[in-house]
Amino acid sequence: LTAFLNGQFAPLDTLQVSVMDRGFLFGDGVYEVIPVYNRQPFRLEEHLQRLENSLAAIALVNPYSRGRWAELIHAIVAAQDFEDQSVYLQVTRGAAWPRNHALPAQVTPTVLIYADELAAPLPAMVEQGVTAISAGDIRWLRCNIKATALLANVLLRQMAVDAGVAETVLFRDGLLIEGSSSNIFVVSQGEILAPPPSHLMLTGITYDLILELAQQHALPYRVCEITEQQVRDADEVWLTSSSKEVLALVQLDDQLVGDGKPGPVFREMHRHYQQFKRDVMRN
């Protein structure tokens, strides 16, 4: 796998960074994951905009222009053997001595980009849906930053793995927030409900696309606070992310969602999503 580190292209397994890198010591960095279909990065501008927002939120100067980022990503994509890929990029604050929480005056950010083969959702996951557990949101109050410091998300996802389910759905103060690495939507009485973007959640690129598709196809939707009870009483619950696209959640904890099968609004949205992918790949 050809990767990019600090201005150099080289095989991923040969790349090394300093143990004094603040990404390693403090989780002081941000990242993006960009799906690539047919060698075309999907929603690249949106991902680069979110990267800019994350960098600004942690006072890290963007090392590259949008155009340079796009060039580097395209170069990485061109260097791989697969058509469908997942590009991972991260920027950490860089290596600084001595170790000190406060931001160093002089430091060069560490930039990593690599791509791997895209693990698309299996057809069975689309047709039968996936299951989840719920948990209280133990993360910090700046979840709108796509930070590499993911320890809480790691522990929350492991809870799902230990329970043999796909995702952990997070509630805070009785309200739906998101999943450990996904956004969550609800369908109630034919209406798609989406939790309002805030500093408590990461607004997914897929989240935005789902609302765009709802708008475009005149599916009723509303962005509003969603209570835990509304999730448990919902006709449908969906999970979205760049890698999972949109999947129906058919069981939450010990209770089936709706009739325990992916619902009609999900199936329509999934169809629109696939059509949207095909349309942009043709252009």
The smaller minimum CB distance to ligand PMP, of residues 94 and 179, is found at: 179
Residue type, 94: G
- The reply to whether 182 sits near ligand PMP by the rule CB under 6 A is yes
Least distance to ligand PMP, CB of residue 241, Å = 4
CB distance 180 to 170 below 8 Å: yes
Window of 61-69, 79-87, 104-112, 234-242 that interacts with ligand PMP by CB under 6 A: 234-242
Active site residue 146: yes
- The reply to whether 86 sits near ligand PMP by the rule CB under 6 A is no
37 vs 120: CA distance, rounded Å: 10
186 vs 183: CA distance, rounded Å: 10
Enumerate residues 159-178 that contact ligand PMP by CB under 6 A: 178
- The reply to whether 181 sits near ligand PMP by the rule CB under 6 A is yes
Least distance to ligand PMP, CB of residue 198, Å = 12
- The reply to whether 90 sits near ligand PMP by the rule CB under 6 A is no
| Contact pattern for ligand PMP over residues 204 through 233, marking x by CB under 6 A | xxxx--------------------------
Least distance to ligand PMP, CB of residue 132, Å = 14
Window of 106-114, 211-219, 239-247, 249-257 that interacts with ligand PMP by CB under 6 A: 239-247
User: Applying CB under 6 A, which residues contact ligand PMP?
Assistant: 33, 153, 178, 181-183, 202, 204-207, 240-242
- Hey, which residues are catalytic here? 146
